[in-house]
Structures are given as structure tokens and as C-alpha cells.
Amino acid sequence: MPLVRISHRSGLTDAQRKALSDGVQEALESTVNVPPNDRFHILTEHASGLIFDPHYLGIERTPDWVAVQITLRKGRTVEMKQALYRRIAENLAKNPGLRPEDVLICLVENDLADWSFGNGEAQYVR
């Protein structure tokens, strides 16, 4: 049930954008028990508007920096979240070739009643 938002610089190819989505999805499935068919991703391209500190916390970032925001049901352990962060960074380093330093990840947690997948209904609270 995660909703994934990936913000990235403009100019990426369709294959690179697919690799971003695929890398995040694989990490969700392998680390925090998200089912394979549960994929809702919004990729947003920015010619400008990605404003970030290139040195925050001693991590050197480049203009290839991406932000991955994942809204998901609360209940994952700290260890699961850390495994998710590592796996996303590893996957995106392999394809499309992002430096791990250029991957920011933020989780936003909520409850079952906070989701409607269509028809104006909260399917998880019937």
C-alpha cells in the first residue's frame, strides 16, 4: 500500500525513470513486506525547483540528487527501515547508476483508515 513519490532532475530517459521505480519497488518488496502488485509511484521531473544543501551532514551531493518519499502504513521496525534505505541506495546505484550520496529517502507513516484505493471507500476498514 505504499505511495511512492520520486522527484528527480529533468533529462532522464524513460529507461532511467523505470529503473528508479523498479529499484524502489524491489526494495519495498524485499525489506518491508510489500506485495509485488502493490505499486503506486509518482515520478516528477524538475528542470528547476530541486533545492538542497550539497554538503548537509557531510554528505557530498551532486545535481543528480533525487528525493524518494514513501507514504506507508506504520508498523515497520527501525531495522526494517534501515534495510529499506540501504536496499534502495544499492538498487539505484546499480541501475540507473546513482551515487548513494545522491539518494534522499523520507518515510511518512499513517494508518489503515488513511487510504482509499478508489470508489470513495476506505477498503482496509470495512
Query: What are the b/e assignments for 105-121, b being 16+ CB within 10 Å?
Result: bebeeeeeeebeeeeee
User: Which of 2, 36, 54, 100 is an active site residue?
Assistant: 2
CA distances from 12 to 18, 25, 42, 97 (A): 10, 19, 15, 12
Asked if 2 is an active-site residue, the reply is yes
Catalytically active residues, by annotation: 2
